[in-house]
Amino acid sequence: MKSSLTGKLTFALVEPDTGLAHAVTMSPPGIVDELRRSGLRGRGGGGFEVAEKWRLCAAAEGPGRFIVCNAAEGEPGSFKDRAILQGFAQLVFEGMTIAAAAVGASRGILYLRREYGYMAAHMESVLAARRHAGLLGQCIPGRGDFDFDISIHLGDGAYVCGQETALLEYLEGRRGEPRNRPPWPTTRGLRGAPTVVHNVETFAWVSCVLARGAAWFKNLGTAGSPGLKLFSVSGDCQRPGVYEFQLGFSISELLETVGAERVKGVQIGGASGRMIPPSQFHRTIAMEDLPYGGAIIVFGEERDMLDVAGNYLRFFVRESCGQCVPCREGTRRLLDGVERLRQGRCPAVHLDRLCELGNTIRLTSKCGLGQSAPQAFLSIVSHYRRELMGRERHERG
Amino acid sequence: MLTTERDRIGLEIEKLVRSYHNDCGALIAILQEVQRRYRHVSQYAMQVIADALDVHPAQVFSVVSYYRFLSTTPRGRFVIQLSDCIAHDAVERAAVARQLENDLGIRFGETTVDGLFSLEHTGCIGMCDQGPVVSVNGRIHTQFTADRVGALLRDCLGGGDMVAAPGRD
Please tell me the predicted confidence (pLDDT) of residue A6.
Answer: 80
- Across the interface, whether the CB atoms of A1 and B87 are under 8 A apart is answered no
pLDDT bucket at B168, cuts 50 / 70 / 90: very low
Please tell me the predicted confidence (pLDDT) of residue B169.
Answer: 38
User: What residue of B is the nearest CA neighbor of A322?
Assistant: B66
User: What residue of B is the nearest CA neighbor of A117?
Assistant: B169
pLDDT at B120 over 90: yes
- A124 shares contact with chain B (CB less than 8 Å): no
- Across the interface, whether the CB atoms of B142 and A2 are under 8 A apart is answered yes
Please tell me the predicted confidence (pLDDT) of residue A123.
Answer: 97
**Nearest Cα to A285, choosing from A334, A250, A235, A233?**
A250
Contacts of A270 (CB under 8 A, 6+ apart): A75, A76, A77, A78, A293, A294, A295, A297
Question: What's the rounded Cα separation, in Å, for the pair B60 and B82?
Answer: 29
- Collapse the DSSP code of A153 into the 3-class scheme (helix H, G, I; strand E, B; otherwise coil) and give the result: strand
Size of interface A-B (CB pairs under 8 A): 113
Question: What's the rounded Cα separation, in Å, for the pair A390 and A342?
Answer: 9
pLDDT bucket at B167, cuts 50 / 70 / 90: very low
The shortest C-alpha distance from B42 to chain A (Å) reads 17
Please tell me the predicted confidence (pLDDT) of residue A292.
Answer: 78
- Across the interface, whether the CB atoms of A81 and B126 are under 8 A apart is answered yes
Rg (chain B; Cα; Å): 18
pLDDT at B142 over 60: yes
Please tell me the predicted confidence (pLDDT) of residue A63.
Answer: 82
pLDDT at B165 over 70: no
Residue ranges of chain A with per-residue pLDDT less than 50? 397
User: What residue of A is the nearest CA neighbor of B32?
Assistant: A156
- Domains present along chain A, CATH in parentheses: 10-218 (3.40.50.11540), 228-300 (3.10.20.600), 305-392 (1.20.1440.230)
- Collapse the DSSP code of A265 into the 3-class scheme (helix H, G, I; strand E, B; otherwise coil) and give the result: strand
User: Residue A260 burial by CB count (10 A; 0-12/13-18/19+): exposed, middle or buried?
Assistant: buried
pTM metric for this prediction:
0.94
Question: What's the rounded Cα separation, in Å, for the pair B26 and B167?
Answer: 21
Please tell me the predicted confidence (pLDDT) of residue B158.
Answer: 85
Q: What is the pLDDT of residues B10-67, one digit of tens each?
A: 999 999 999 999 998 899 999 999 999 999 999 999 999 999 999 999 999 999 999 9
